[in-house]
Amino acid sequence: MQKRKLGNSGLEVSALGLGCMGMSFGYGTISDKQEMINLMHKAIDSGVTFFDTAEVYGPFINEELVGEALAPFRGKVVIATKFGFDTTGVSTLDSRPEHIKQVAEASLKRLRVEVIDLFYQHRVDPNIPIEDVAGAVKDLIKEGKVNHFGLSEAGVQVIRQAHAVQPVTALQSEYSLWWREPEAEIIPTLEELGIGFVPFSPLGKGFLTGKMDQNTTFDSKDFRSTVPRLSPENLKKNLEFVELLNKFARRKNATPAQIALAWLLAQKPWIVPIPGTTKLRRLKENLEAAQVELSYEDLQELNTSSLKIKVQGERYSSGSAKLINR
Residues catalogued as catalytic: 57
Q: DSSP for 65-110? A: HHHHHHGGGTTTSEEEEEE-EETTSS-EE---HHHHHHHHHHHHHH
Residue type, 244: L
Beta bridge partners of 30: none
Of 220, 209, 200, nearest in space to 21 by CA: 200
User: Is 191 within 8 Å of 184 (Cβ atoms)?
Assistant: no
User: Is 258 within 8 Å of 289 (Cβ atoms)?
Assistant: yes
Distance, CA of 301 to CA of 307 (rounded, Å): 10
User: Is 59 within 8 Å of 92 (Cβ atoms)?
Assistant: no
Distance, CA of 21 to CA of 9 (rounded, Å): 25
Q: What is the DSSP letter of 223?
A: G
SS3 sequence of 235-274:
HHHHHHHHHHHHHHHHHHCCCHHHHHHHHHHHHCCCECCC
